[in-house]
């Protein structure tokens, strides 16, 4: 897997009116969607946001596009949840939310140190298998 995708990029890609829409589309395209993954928690966060902002029809349009994208969905089980909670404890001062912590735990699970995200605070995380987390664009 080349990179994991955060909700900030998925939301910006889904909404043409977003200021970072072009950057999100470019980031996803550059990494070839078939080499991308996202935890189900990030997808759920994205879907909830879109439902609230663009309504059920906008959410359905994104859903259809996501299903065609080839982005792999990473399951979240109890072990990943426990790892996410440990990340939350270790990085309590970073202010990561639940979805952020599951994204970072997924990075550890699949051995991927590259994240497509507009959330700069993710850069403080240090993966166990790499010197730094690469957060792009």
Per-residue pLDDT reduced to its tens digit, 36-84: 999 999 999 999 999 999 999 999 999 999 999 999 999 999 999 999 9
C-alpha span between 76 and 67 (Å, rounded): 18
Q: What is the mean pLDDT of the chain?
A: 95
Do the domain assignments include residue 135?
no
Do the domain assignments include residue 26?
yes
Do the domain assignments include residue 134?
no
C-alpha span between 21 and 126 (Å, rounded): 28
pLDDT band at 1 (very low <50, low <70, confident <90, very high): confident
Domain that holds residue 28: 3-121
Do the domain assignments include residue 47?
yes
C-alpha span between 85 and 105 (Å, rounded): 9
Do the domain assignments include residue 93?
yes
> Would you say residue 33 has pLDDT above 70?
no
Per-residue model confidence (pLDDT) at position 45: 98
C-alpha span between 39 and 106 (Å, rounded): 7
Does 31 or 24 have the greater pLDDT score? 24
CATH assignment at residue 77 = 3.40.50.1010
How many separate domains does the chain show?
Answer: 1
Do the domain assignments include residue 35?
yes
> Would you say residue 32 has pLDDT above 80?
no
> Would you say residue 126 has pLDDT above 80?
yes
Do the domain assignments include residue 57?
yes
Closest CA to 135 of 47, 23, 15, 17: 23
> Cα-flanking dihedrals φ and ψ of residue 125, to 5°?
-70, 135
Q: Are 65 and 128 in contact (CB under 8 A)?
A: no
C-alpha span between 77 and 108 (Å, rounded): 14
Reported as a single tens digit per residue, the pLDDT across 85-115 is 999 999 999 999 999 999 999 999 999 999 9
Do the domain assignments include residue 73?
yes
């Amino acid at each position: 897997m080349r990179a994991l995708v955060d909700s900030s990029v998925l939301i910006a890609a889904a909404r043409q009116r977003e200021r970072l829409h072009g950057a999100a589309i470019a980031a996803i395209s550059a990494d070839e969607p078939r080499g991308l993954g996202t935890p189900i928690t990030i997808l759920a966060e994205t879907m909830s946001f879109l439902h609230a902002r663009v309504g059920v029809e906008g959410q359905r349009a994104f859903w259809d596009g996501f299903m065609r994208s080839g982005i792999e969905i990473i399951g979240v089980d109890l072990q990943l949840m426990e790892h996410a909670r440990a990340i939350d404890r270790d990085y309590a001062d970073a202010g990561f939310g639940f979805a952020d912590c599951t994204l970072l735990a997924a990075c550890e699970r699949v051995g991927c140190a590259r994240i497509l995200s507009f959330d700069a605070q993710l850069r403080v995380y240090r993966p166990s298998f790499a010197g730094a987390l690469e957060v792009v664009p």
